């Protein structure tokens, strides 16, 4: 864990060259580990998706808990999705029109039907605390080394990391083998830094849901 205090910064105007394209969907359930299957279905319709460096897929997580129900741990287990569940792609603005072709499509995700309906554009917000659920890393390195490596990558992106916490580990299955991932929370980001890390991400695998940051509640009380 990294924790450094700093003076608050004034808000600034930031670019919106990258946005989230949020699709309404009709899908009853999906496998817990659906990253590769969903990625493959998207690439069949959007062949440019994997090669676009700023494009990414937000994996569908379902509910963490609901009246005593908790997400399963086995990759083949099904997660049951509420009606408000969305499919979200992170895209450069110039790819939004091309992705409209997804509307009306129906995907087969390991035998589960996922129908894509209408889409809305959601601008990235300059939230000071961000979370990436999946960042591809070496399973042999410990949490401290992982955080140090991520801080180094952020420096390359000209982002000064003040607070970083490593979290849960996961494995995403692919035909070539498992991708070992760790979650990472960043806090006390300046507005431009927050937008920049959401636009650029960290590490590989954006088209399979890795390296993408989303808004998260603050961690000022965590020590």
| pLDDT, mean of residues 101-115 | 97
pLDDT at 76 over 50: yes
**Stretch(es) of the chain classified as CATH 3.30.70.1890:** 18-64+75-123
Binned at pLDDT 50, 70 and 90, residue 1 comes out as: low
Per-residue model confidence (pLDDT) at position 160:
87
| pLDDT, mean of residues 138-163 | 94
209-to-2, 16, 66, 113, 134 alpha-carbon distances in Å: 24, 20, 24, 20, 7
| pLDDT, mean of residues 183-204 | 95
**Stretch(es) of the chain classified as CATH 3.30.70.1210:** 125-215
CATH architecture label of 18-64+75-123? 2-Layer Sandwich (3.30)
Region 125-215: CATH code: 3.30.70.1210
* Backbone phi and psi for residue 93, each to the nearest 5 degrees, phi listed first: -55, -35
């Amino acid at each position: 864990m990294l924790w450094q205090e700093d003076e608050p910064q004034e808000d600034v105007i930031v670019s919106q060259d990258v946005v989230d394209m949020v699709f309404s969907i009709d899908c009853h359930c999906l496998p817990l580990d659906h990253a590769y299957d969903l990625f493959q279905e998207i690439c069949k319709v959007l062949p440019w998706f994997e090669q676009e460096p700023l494009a990414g897929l937000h994996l569908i997580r379902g509910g963490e808990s609901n009246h005593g129900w908790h997400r399963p741990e086995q990759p083949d287990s099904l997660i049951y999705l509420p009606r408000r569940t969305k499919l979200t792609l992170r895209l450069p603005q110039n790819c939004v029109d091309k992705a409209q072709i997804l509307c009306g499509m129906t995907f087969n995700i390991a035998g589960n039907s996922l129908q894509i309906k209408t889409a809305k554009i959601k601008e990235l917000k300059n939230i000071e605390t961000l979370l990436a659920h999946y960042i591809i890393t070496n399973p042999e390195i410990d949490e401290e080394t992982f955080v140090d490596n991520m801080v180094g990558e952020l420096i390359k992106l000209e982002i000064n990391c003040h607070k970083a916490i490593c979290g849960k580990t996961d494995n995403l299955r692919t035909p070539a083998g498992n991708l070992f991932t760790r979650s990472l929370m960043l806090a006390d980001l300046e507005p431009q830094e927050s937008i920049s890390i959401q636009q650029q991400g960290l590490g590989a695998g954006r088209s399979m849901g890795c390296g993408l940051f989303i808004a998260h509640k603050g961690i000022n009380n965590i020590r």
